[in-house]
Structure 1
């Protein structure tokens, strides 16, 4: 490709876009519909200074997100968002640059077909590649074989990858992620000793900020719950002048990632799903998988999360003799985008593109032959 490819990671909370070869996305915005307006730069854009200039003249619409738990449900709104990314955020005419699009491991196959249709027909991109976020997360760590543990905003996934090929029989999905944890934290605080008036006025964005700043994963949840001496308080100054104190809520908030029953879900926790996934990979690859467990997504950023994952997996695998290694990059919150940036810039990757001519000859179904 003559120009660096555009890399787009559509998240349930934020969509990230930039150019192949860059270390960080150039443009980040909430995954919501956008409509023209007469206003200048919005407050939302000011939180991400790299997006502020390109958000001028637009505002987020007061509607639900077009993408839920990793799956696109409103294609018109998603097309609107991509248009904004190309023309306002990146200032990159889509007909001039290839696009690498990240998608959720649990996306239905029809999502890839529709994405190809929209990008080739509506935007006229010259080439396209679609890869799941689990594989791209491994790429961010320089791996082609391993187990990706993704904990995002809308959904969490386990994806085993062997020599660049996702092992679909070993993929697992958990409906516990950041948005659910924010709601859980608010409910925990409502049962706490804090002033009710201060809690009822909290906006969801404020609760999310509190979660990120104050919460952590315990390596001994039951023990810490019983021992009040481990309830180290943290104080959060909310807008409006209220001061909210968190005690056990700090480590109770992320616990549903390991105990989904706390949110009344019957699924096992992420660690157990990772163990189940490892039971389904070929025996000769299991050692490499166990030694390359990579973390990805914003909800994997809790302090203590890597240690707890390693501890739980070592317990589950203690009779196998396998040595568990959990890799936790400080930049793992955007690992899927970074992996796409690395992959799309490699010379060896250039044969993986689906050209517009191939789409026109074979149709959208051809994506299933080109992309693994």
Structure 2
């Protein structure tokens, strides 16, 4: 038995008890609350403060650059406005996009977008395991993506083994996995009225204004990575008996059906699929349960914006105005550049693709896909002096490695009316 002067948790001032409980996990606090009457009363009185503190600590345990996206994905999973079929009115959808974006996706001065008064035991008990378990999945897929990407460059370019990814590179890819999953949750299919160039997908474009165009390019790289992944699954399946009722006769059919399955279940469930039969049976069950699934215009696999400019951020000032713009200054202010590698790579390719009809072959052969996420130091070490900076392209007006040409028209300007039009 302890001496009368021995300190115990139940004998401490309530302020200290609350601080200690805030450093525990939810289950430990639950167990403490049934220890004695005084601790139960402290837990009851300060429940939301304790819950909120525990939630903050969990979010802060994630990489800093990932935190907004982890919370945004949880919100996307549980929002009631995500694109439904039949579609809501477009003005309503625009408003929902900006309400969601301003609360969860604005990274300037970001803080946990949940008020202390909202931190109920139910919310926190649900939110913490969902966020932590999915982040573990993102970490694993990030490693797979980086290993494949770097090994392709080493083989194709005859490079020696490359340096391990930096913290900034790892965080950058993790962000892209989160962005892709948020897009899948909120925009599972194309939205808008058909036009001469396909469906006018303006709500999806507006959503992408909450991300930088270089982030869009990394997500596009992940889209390509999953194409390869699906092909591996398909080839593995060719060695297995085909289940009765399976209708995919070739790879394209398989990708379409698997893409539809991914729309519903996402990365979390793809991660759980370990064999061909389990996947095929899951896909069959989904289509049997929902006969109306196929007619909808699902995105299937691609969750990035399919233009180098990165949605409607930029346009060349002296070319046909097919892309509206918010301006390069607005773009750089809105997204803290950090390492310049992804920005310089994106801008170089944006200018190159806008000024030539030939494919990009002079500059790093695989830069179009596999070096989008690299730090500038890795680009320089792998391809010395191969790529100018964004400033060099605009100031000098030439890109030597891609051939000499005038980049003067690609000094980008703003379109203030469009800023207002889309809600910025």
Fold match by TM threshold 0.5: no
Identify the structure with bigger relative contact order (alpha carbons < 8 Å, sequence gap 6+). 1
Higher alpha-carbon Rg: 2
Name the structure where helix makes up a greater proportion of residues.
2
TM-score (ref. length: structure 1): 0.30
TM-score (ref. length: structure 2): 0.27
